[in-house]
């Protein structure tokens, strides 16, 4: 799958500067990719543009092949408070993907009683259920926009490794402020750097470490890659 953005221009009303101006880049899937930037750089806005939630004033987002949806997951989604976790997941999951839900229970939902109603879950538990319901749908590309922000680091790491393994033939775009995770797990890292009093006209791209459980990197290498990402973003 190839996801391309050509000449994207976008700005919010009453803002003095456009956020993006004539921005172009291409994501060549499959694989695990990340979008990184400091607070206010426009990560979520760009993710929503790629998913078709926001429309640019100029420019085009194109996915090849055209079949298969782009899903967008974020941390502030609403849930049906009266439903149990089990009822909801059974309702939204594609039948052929039910086996993925069983696997995900072992690394993301092990502490969640599936008979619990959404109103009784912590925010971290809701984040895990949210990821599970997207992973058990059919998609070509899944954009994960800070959707694990309230999940503890060890669990977050297990979930990301699970996604990389089980969905190696899909395209994942992980939007996060956790620079070490971005450095470790990404095949490629797209970096937003917003100049002062100006629009973003370029997206920087570097190789990530693309770490897998069988081939871990030493902490020194991960730290170096994280520093490289931060230096570009600042």
Tell me, yes or no, whether 84 lies in a domain. Answer: no
Kindly state whether residue 22 falls inside one of the protein's structural domains: yes
Q: What is the pLDDT of residue 37?
A: 95
Q: Is the pLDDT of residue 194 over 80?
A: no
DSSP H stretches of helix in 31-176: 43-51, 85-92, 98-107, 123-135, 153-166
pLDDT for position 42: 94
Residue 147 lies in a domain: yes
Q: What is the percent of the chain with per-residue pLDDT over 70, rounded to a whole number? A: 100
Q: Which helix (H) or strand (E) holds 134?
A: helix 123-135
Report the percentage of the chain scoring pLDDT > 90: 65
Q: What is the pLDDT of residue 101?
A: 78
128 lies in some domain: no
62 pLDDT higher than 90: yes
Q: Total domain count for the chain?
A: 1
Range of the domain at 194: 2-78+139-233
Residue 178 within any structural domain of the chain:
yes
The tokens of 93 are what?
């999951």
CATH code of the domain containing 151: 3.40.50.300
Most confident of 76-80, 150-154, 177-181: 177-181
pLDDT of amino acid 32: 98
Residue 158 lies in a domain: yes
For range 119-147, the mean pLDDT: 91
Of 125, 122, 120, 115, the residue nearest 84 (C-alpha): 115
pTM of the model as a whole:
0.94
Query: Would you state the pLDDT for residue 134?
Result: 92
Residue 61 belongs to a domain: yes
Tell me which of 9-13, 105-109, 111-115 is least confident: 105-109
């Amino acid at each position: 799958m190839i996801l391309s953005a050509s000449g994207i221009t976008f700005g919010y009303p009453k803002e003095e500067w456009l956020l993006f101006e004539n921005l172009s880049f291409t994501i060549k899937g499959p694989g695990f990719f990340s979008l990184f930037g400091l607070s206010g750089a426009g990560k979520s806005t760009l993710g929503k543009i790629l998913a078709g939630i926001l429309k640019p004033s100029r420019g085009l987002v194109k996915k090849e092949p055209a079949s298969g949806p782009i899903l967008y997951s974020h941390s502030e989604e609403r849930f049906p408070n009266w439903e149990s976790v089990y009822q909801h997941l059974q309702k939204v999951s594609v039948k052929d993907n039910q086996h993925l839900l069983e696997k995900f229970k072992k690394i993301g939902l092990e502490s969640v009683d599936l008979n619990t109603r959404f109103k009784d879950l912590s925010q971290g538990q809701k984040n895990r259920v949210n990821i599970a319901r997207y992973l058990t749908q059919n998609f070509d590309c899944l954009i994960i926009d800070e959707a694990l922000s309230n999940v503890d680091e060890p669990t977050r790491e297990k979930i990301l490794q699970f996604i990389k393994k089980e969905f190696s033939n899909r395209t994942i775009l992980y939007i996060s402020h956790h620079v070490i995770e971005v450095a470790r797990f990404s095949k490629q890292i797209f970096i937003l750097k917003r100049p002062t009093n100006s629009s973003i006209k370029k997206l920087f791209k570097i190789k990530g470490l693309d770490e897998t459980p069988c081939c871990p990197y030493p902490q020194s290498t991960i730290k170096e890659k994280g520093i490289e990402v931060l230096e570009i973003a600042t």
